Amino acid sequence: KQEVTQIPAALSVPEGENLVLNCSFTDSAIYNLQWFRQDPGKGLTSLLLIQSSQREQTSGRLNASLDKSSGRSTLYIAASQPGDSATYLCAVTNSNYQLIWGAGTKLIIKP
């Protein structure tokens, strides 16, 4: 059974710092991995999708990597801003085409 773990559960850093969020999964048989952002009481915003054949994806200040063999992904946020404060969720698409979710990392960027 696929399990997705996100570490840390919460992170607070000063504005301007670069940071890394971690995601691990137990079964390497995935179609893709996605990173999402969720603001309090709001829906999901898709940030990056990495296909199983890819190693990384970049969008602006965000870079996501995928090491399928070791079951790990990282989301790198450069030059963090207070507006980056949110909960970041990682999810993998399993062999049944379902999304399996991590519990999220709550990020706070202090001005």
Tell the smallest beta-carbon distance from residue 45 to other proteins (Å): 8
Which 35-94 residues touch other proteins, going by CB under 8 A? 36, 41-44, 46, 49, 51, 89, 91, 93
104 binds other proteins (CB under 8 A): yes
DSSP one-letter string for 15-84: TT--EEEEEEES----SEEEEEEE-TT--EEEEEEEETT-SEEEETTEEEEEETTTTEEEEEE-S--GGG
Q: Does 31 bind other proteins (CB under 8 A)?
A: yes
Residue the block writes with tokens 């504005």: 15
The minimum distance between CB 70 and other proteins, in angstroms, equals 22
Shortest Å, Cβ 22 to other proteins: 15
Nearest to 27 by CA among 9, 50, 2, 46: 2
Q: Is residue 108 near other proteins by the rule CB under 8 A?
A: no
- What are phi and psi for residue 82, nearest 5 degrees? -55, -30
Helix, strand or coil for residue 1?
coil
- Whether the bond into 8 is cis, omega within 30 of 0: yes
Identify which of residues 15 and 62 has a Cβ nearer to other proteins in the complex.
62
Report if residue 2 touches other proteins, rule: CB under 8 A: no
Interaction site with other proteins (CB under 8 A): 31-32, 34, 36, 41-44, 46, 49, 51, 89, 91, 93, 97-99, 101-104
